[in-house]
Structure 1
Amino acid sequence: MFDNEVQQVVLVEDRDAVRVVTLNRPHRRNAIDLPLRYALAERLEEAMTDPAIRVVVLTGAGQGFCSGGDISTMARQTEDKTRPRAQAAQRVIRAIWHGPKPVIAAVEGTAFGAGVSLAMACDRVVVAADAVFSTAFTGVGLAGDMGIFASLPARVGVAHAKQLMLLPRKLSGTEAGAIGMAESVVASGTALSSAMTDAQAMAKAPPLAMREMKALFGRWPSDPIAMLDHEVDAQARLFDTEDFAEGVAAFQERRTPIFRGA
């Protein structure tokens, strides 16, 4: 969909087993319009099904990560017109959450509104110390989407998430890291390179185990007792894999394992 726009609004680069997916609307601070929603979802879905790719790094071109929804493309409209637009945004998050591969956000510059949602949806967030976060949804009379009512409370707690949403304020990357919105705070201009270091480490991990881990975390929050059964199911599947046998053999032979996802 929007084939002519895909190459313009989303860039893809493979670095060995890591796929770097870049929002590429720097003239709009990578604001999310409808073509970008479709293109980003498609690129993420492709990465999740590509056997050569083990980790995805998500970043933005130019000076910012993502300034949120593109307000210049918004106007009052009826629910039947709004719903497909909103569902297209949620498709991006479904690709991240349901996909079997970890996704790392590399955040420089601004992450506002849906840009915060997009970063929070990732499995790991690497942020420049001078980056700026703000939920900002209330500024345009909206509540928020792209999973933020699940991801933000999971990261910072429900009480703190409420304050960030109800009373939006600007947080530096350092402040965001201090409250759990990011796992790693790095020097300005190094978010992508730092995220790549993390991604390359993850790419060496057994991909089948990573898939099961993502699926299990995807069930959170759930009944703790039910989670015990889900963990048994995952372990049972993994014990009957070549990767598990390779891990055991490498341990016994005192060498680094080579996982092939088999």
Structure 2
Amino acid sequence: MTSPDCVLSRDEGNVRVLTLNRPDKRNAIDLELRFLLAELLEVAMADDDVRAVVLTGAGPSFCSGGDISTMRQMGPEESRPRAEAAQRVIRALWEGPKPVVAAVEGFAFGAGAALALACDRVVAARDAAFSTAFTGVGLAGDMGVFASLPARVGAAAARQLMLLPKRLTGEEAHRLGMADALTDPGEALVQALADAHTIAAGPPLALREIKKMFTRWPADPYDVLDREVELQVRLFGSRDLAEGAAAFRERRKPVFQGR
């Protein structure tokens, strides 16, 4: 069961720091964490004393993705609220007026990578590990990845990263455009906080409009979120999802049959 403090919140001056706090699970995202993270993001975005947000992970990893131990074949009545809860997090990131800086150490896999990419700036350690990784459990992707990934790396490169997921170091992610700045291992949060304070010193109204303009360009990403929900609902009802989750638990390669 997830602890009620699965996301921690603290302020450093006018910067709100939100920390995914399931280090024993490499900060994997379960349903409770989705709800709490969305709520805390919404609170931060509405707080006039907060000028910028830093998103990071407790322990050695940013976020290893969705919590596969909670995944199983399920019907739309169960999978739809799950998918919509994930998209609520991304809506809070995109719709909120405060810039968000992700500090990435260790793993940023699947939904963890998508979560980082949804932020306005990504600071990554050189030895961090990025991967889309959704297809490993029979899923296509969510949390805005079909908008944020092509916006950063281009449609052609994004397509290949989704079809042929591979582990990228922080340096490789930086070269592709998935990360905006590199640090030595253990220094991502320090740099992210410095960047957030620099951003926080800027004009709030102008920063809000900059976020709004880039969120809406070149296409409407909110349409992508709605379409991703439909994808997740269909795929959570598949036997391939059940096989992917079982293979992960049993530490074997999944055998997908397209059912």
Q: TM-score, normalised by structure 2?
A: 0.83
Of the three residues 102, 108, 111, the one matched with 1:111 is 108
Say which SS state the counterpart of residue 79 (structure 2) adopts: helix
Identity of aligned residues (%): 65
**Deviations 1:45-98, CA, capped at 9 Å, x for gaps:** 000000000000000000100000000011100012100000000000000000
* CA RMSD between the two structures: 1.3
The letter for the 2-side match of 1:33 is D
**Residue 73 of structure 1 aligns with which residue?**
70
What's the offset of the Cα at 1:222? 4.8
**Residue 24 of structure 2 aligns with which residue?**
27
Of the three residues 85, 88, 92, the one matched with 2:89 is 92
CA–CA distance in 1 between the matches of 2:142 and 2:176? 21
What's the offset of the Cα at 1:110? 0.5
Of the three residues 123, 132, 142, the one matched with 1:126 is 123
Task: Look at both structures and tell me which one has the larger radius of gyration over its CA atoms.
Answer: 1
1:172 aligns with 2:152: no
Say which SS state the counterpart of residue 80 (structure 2) adopts: helix
**Residue 243 of structure 1 aligns with which residue?**
none
**Residue 57 of structure 1 aligns with which residue?**
54
Between Structure 1 and Structure 2, how many residues are aligned?
A: 220
Summarize the alignment of residues 212-227 of structure 1 with structure 2, pairs less than 5 Å apart: 212-222=209-219
**Residue 44 of structure 1 aligns with which residue?**
41
The letter for the 1-side match of 2:121 is R
**Deviations 1:127-184, CA, capped at 9 Å, x for gaps:** 0000001111010000000000000000000000011000000000000000100000
Q: TM-score, normalised by structure 1?
A: 0.82
What's the offset of the Cα at 1:102? 0.2
What's the offset of the Cα at 1:5? 3.9
CA–CA distance in 1 between the matches of 2:209 and 2:136? 39
**Deviations 1:3-30, CA, capped at 9 Å, x for gaps:** x943x20000100000000000000000
Summarize the alignment of residues 200-219 of structure 1 with structure 2, pairs less than 5 Å apart: 200-219=197-216
**Residue 227 of structure 1 aligns with which residue?**
none
Gapped runs of 5+ residues in structure 1?
224-262
Summarize the alignment of residues 228-243 of structure 1 with structure 2, pairs less than 5 Å apart: none
CA–CA distance in 1 between the matches of 2:41 and 2:78? 25
The letter for the 1-side match of 2:139 is L
The letter for the 2-side match of 1:111 is A
**Residue 189 of structure 1 aligns with which residue?**
186
Higher-RCO chain (CA-CA 8 Å, sequence separation at least 6): 2
CA–CA distance in 2 between the matches of 1:135 and 1:215? 26
The letter for the 1-side match of 2:138 is G
The letter for the 1-side match of 2:149 is L
